Structure 1
Amino acid sequence: MLFPNPDFESGRLSVPDSADFLFTSSYRSLRGKGVFTEINQPVAPDSSDRRKLFLDSVQLAFSKAKDRGIQNPVVVGAVPFDLTQPSRLFIPLECEFFYRSDMVSSLVSQSACASRVERIQSVPDEWRFKQSVAQAIANFQHSELQKAVLSRVLNIELAEQVSVDEILSRLIIQNPAGYHFRIPIQGTQELIGSSPELLIRKIGVELVSNPLAGSAKRQNNADLDRAVGESLLTSSKDSYEHRVVVDEIRQVLTPYCETLSIPSTPDLISTPAMWHLSTLINGQLKNPKMSALELACQLHPTPAVCGFPTKDARNLIRLVESFDRGLFTGMVGWCDAEGNGEWVVTIRCGTVSGNQIQLFAGAGIVKDSCPESEWLETGAKLGTMLKALGIEQQEAL
Structure 2
Amino acid sequence: MLESLALKQNLNFEFGALFASNGRELLSSGIHEWISVPARGGQDRGQGLHAAVEAAFERARRAGQANPILVGAIPFDVREPSCLYVPAAYEWREQAAVAEVVGEPSGVPDLLDQRSLPDEDGFKKAVEHAIVNFRHSDVRKAVLSVIRELRFAESMDVGRLLAGLRAQNSQGYLFRIPLPDEGELVGVSPELLIRKEGGRIVSNPLAGSAKRQPDPRADRAAAEQLERSQKDQYEHRLVIENIRSILAPLCARLDVPAAPSLMSTAAMWHLSTRIEGALQDPAMTALQLACIIHPTPAVCGFPTESAHKLIRYVEPFERGLFTGLVGWCDAQGNGEWAITIRCGIARHDTLRLFAGAGIVEASNPASEWEEVQAKLGTMLSACGLAA
1:373: which partner in 2? 367
Identify which of 72, 76, 84 aligns with 2:79. 84
Using the TM superposition, name which of 50-59 and 216-225 deviates more: 50-59
CA contact (8 A) 2:209 2:226 kept: yes
Report SS of the residue matched to 1:318: helix
Matching residue of 1:67:
62
Where do 5+ consecutive residues of structure 2 fail to align? none
SS at match of 1:34: strand
Q: 1:241 matched to which residue of 2?
A: 235
Deviates more, 1:213-222 or 1:95-104: 95-104
In structure 2, relative to structure 1, the CA distance for the partners of 1:172 and 1:253 (3 Å cut) is: same
Is 2:95 aligned against 1:93? no
Q: What is the SS of the residue equivalent to 1:177?
A: coil
Q: 1:324 to 1:108 in 2, by over 3 A?
A: closer
Question: What whole-Å deviation, never above 9, does each CA across 1:198-243 have from its counterpart, x for those lacking one?
Answer: 0000000000000000000000000000000010011000000000
Q: Where in structure 2 are the equivalents of 1:234-383 lying within 5 Å?
A: 234-383=228-377
Q: Does the 8 Å CA contact 1:273/1:383 hold for their aligned counterparts?
A: yes
**Runs of 5+ consecutive residues of structure 1 not aligned to the other structure:** none
Q: Closer, same or farther in 2 for the Cα pair 1:200/1:248, shift >3 Å?
A: same
- Which of 52, 55, 58 is residue 47 of structure 2 equivalent to? 52
Q: Calculate the TM-score normalised by the size of structure 2.
A: 0.94
Q: Assess if the C-alpha contact under 8 Å between 1:156 and 1:357 holds in 2.
A: yes
Assess, with a 3 A threshold, how the Cα gap between structure 1 residues 50 and 356 changes in structure 2: closer, same or farther.
Answer: farther
Whether the aligned pair in 2 keeps the contact of 1:66 and 1:72 (CA below 8 Å) is yes
Change (3 A) 1:178 1:109: farther
| Distance verdict in 2 for CA 1:126–1:92, change over 3 Å | same
Q: Which SS does the other structure have where 1:250 is aligned?
A: helix
TM superposition shift of 1:105: 10
For normalisation by structure 1, the TM-score amounts to 0.92
Verify the 8 A CA contact 1:193 1:385 in the aligned structure 2. Answer: yes
Q: Deviations over 1:278-334 (max 9, x none)?
A: 000000000010000000000100000000000010000000001110000000000
| Corresponding residue to 2:204 among 189, 205, 210 | 210
SS of 1:167's equivalent in the other structure is helix
Shift of 1:392: 1.6
Residue matched to 1:32: 28
Any conservation in 2 of the 1:214–1:239 contact (CA below 8 Å)?
yes
Paired residues, number: 384
1:174 paired residue number? 168
Q: 3-state DSSP class of the match of 2:176?
A: strand
Q: Does the CA-based 8 Å contact 1:43-1:50 persist in structure 2?
A: no
Contact 2:44 2:288 in 1 (8 A): no
* Cα offset, 1:103, TM superposition: 3.1
d(CA) in 1 for partners of 2:222, 2:14: 40
**Alpha-carbon contact 1:233-1:277 (below 8 Å) kept:** yes
Q: Secondary structure at the match of 2:161?
A: helix
Q: Percent identity?
A: 49
